[in-house]
Structures are given as C-alpha cells and as structure tokens.
Structure 1
Amino acid sequence: MIEQTLTVVSVKGTTADLEAEQKQACAGCNGRCGSQIFAKLFGTAKKTFPYTFDSELKVGQKVTLALDDSHLVKHAMAVYMLPLLFSLGFALAAFSVFSLAEGWQILAAVLGGLTGYAIAKSRVKSLKHDIKVIKIHPITIPFTQIDGD
C-alpha cells in the first residue's frame, strides 16, 4: 500500500477536493540535477482531485489515503509497454513479413506506437483504483504564546 497525506482545499457536501504536498525531486544536489531542471521548466502547478467521503470535512483538514500497489503494475504495463511492444511488432512485421524499406518500417513503428497508445488509453479507463481512507486527521489549532502567560 502506498500512503499519502493530502489537504482538503474545498468542500461541496461530502465531496472534498484534495491536494497533495509538493515534494522536491531530491534534496542532495541543490538544483543541479536533471530532475530539478525539469521541475523548473514544466512548473509545479498543484493538482487537486475530488474524493467522496462518508462525512463532511473542513477546508485545511488533513486526510491520509492509501492506494493498492498491484494496480500500479497494471497501469505501468498498459501505459509504457503496450505502445513500445506494438511499435516494435509493427516495425518487425514491416521488415520480415512485407520486406519494406527503412522509411516504411519507421512509419509502421509510429503507427504501431499510436495503436498501442490507443489500446493503453482504453485499458487505463477501465482499470479501477482501490483507494482507502486510512485516517482523517482532526483540525489542529496552532498554539501561540500570549505575553504574561
């Protein structure tokens, strides 16, 4: 199980929009690695997603959710491997079965990749996420020191 603590940013009835805490790619290189450069190029826009709870939550409340690991393998196989396998399969078929020239093999590989992408996209829509609520944290009030206490 992969666990993540999220913050409630808006509430509509029992449906809350949750936002994950942004994490740095790594803290060891002080921004000199490729991950940090890509993060700067593509921005760090925060993403939210809706989730329906049994009870109402308040804005600012923290929620810990868990995702079953087995679904990640299915998603990764569909998203990454299907387009790659179809691309290679189409290119090999163009070479060995049809004895086409190199340009046609490249075109067949592109068509195979797009076909694999279309199949992967339809498979990912049919996969269901098994998200479980682990803990709903109470809203904490920050303690401040008052002069004279």
Structure 2
Amino acid sequence: MIEQTLTVVALSGHTAHLEAEQKQACAGCNGRCGSQVFSKLFGTAKKTLPYKFESPVEIGQKVTLSLDDSHMVKHAFAVYMLPLFLSLVFALATSELLLMGEGWQIFAAAVGGVLGFYIAKTRVKSLRHDIKVVKIHPISIPLTQIDGD
C-alpha cells in the first residue's frame, strides 16, 4: 500500500480538495544534479485532488489516503507500454502486410501510438476509485507559551 498524508485546502459540499506537501528532490548534491534543476523549473505548480468524504472535514485538516500497489503497476504498464506496443505493431503491419513505404510506416506508427495513448487514458480513469481513506486526523489546537513555564 502506498500511503500519503494530504491537507484539506478547499471544500465544496462533501467534496474536499486535498493538497500534498511539496517535497524537495534530494538534498545530497546541493542542487547540482538534474533532479534538483527540474524540481526548480517545474515543481512550483501545486495540484489538488478532489475526494468525496462520507464524514465532514474542515479546511486545514490532515487526511491519510492509501492506494494499492498492484493498481499502480497495471496503470503504469498501460500508460508506458501500450502506446509503444501499438506503435510498433502498426508500423510492422504496414511494412510486412501492406508492403508500404517508409513514410506510411512512420504515419502508421504515429497512429498506433495515439490510439494506445487514448486506450491507456480511458483505462487509467478507474484509478481514482481505488483510493481509500486510512485516517482523518483531528485538527490540532495551536499552543501558546505562557510566561513562567
């Protein structure tokens, strides 16, 4: 199970918009590696996950969600391998069965890749329904220091 703690940032009815904490890439190389550079370039946009809760939640409350690992492997295979596989099949079919030229093979490979992308996109939509709530954390009370303690 993959677990992530998210914070409720907005509410609309029973649907809460959740946001994960931004994590730094790695701090081992002090910003000299590629992952730190790409994190600085593309890591500024915060995305929210809408989720419909059965019990009421409040803004600022933390929620822990989980996702089954096996679903991630299936969806990753569909997203990465299906377009590539269909692209190769279409190119080979155009080359060997239809005996067409190189331009048509490239076009058929592109059509196969796009078709694989759309098939994968429709399969991945079911991922949203596999998310389960592990824990809804209570809202913490801010503490103030009293003189003399």
With normalisation by structure 1, the TM-score equals 0.88
Deviation at 1:37, TM superposition (A): 1.9
Amino acid paired to 1:97: L
Which amino acid letter does the alignment assign opposite residue 98 of structure 2? Answer: F
The match for 1:103 is 103
The structure-2 alpha-carbon separation of the partners of 1:26 and 1:129, relative to structure 1 and needing over 3 Å to count, comes to farther
Q: Structure 1 stretches of 5 or more lacking a match?
A: none
The structural deviation recorded for 1:116 is: 1.0
* Number of matched pairs: 149
CA distance in 1, matches of 2:91, 2:127: 29
Per the alignment, residue 69 of structure 2 pairs with 69
- Residue 98 of structure 1, CA deviation: 2.4
Give the drift of 1:101: 2.5
TM-aligned CA deviation for residue 102 of structure 1: 2.3
Tell me the C-alpha RMSD between the 2 structures: 1.8
1:30 is aligned to: 30
| Stretches (4+) displaced over 6 A | none
Once residues 121 and 35 of structure 1 are traced to their aligned partners in structure 2, the CA distance between those partners, rounded to angstroms, is 27
Contact persistence 1:60–1:139 (CA under 8 A): yes
Who is 1:145 aligned against? 145
- Identity, % of aligned positions: 73
Q: Distance in 2 between matches of 1:118 and 1:8?
A: 32
Instruction: Go from structure 1 to structure 2 and tell me whether the alpha carbon gap of 1:59 and 1:130 turns closer, same or farther (over 3 Å shift).
Output: same
Matched, 1:83 2:86: no
Q: Which runs of 5+ in 2 are unaligned?
A: none
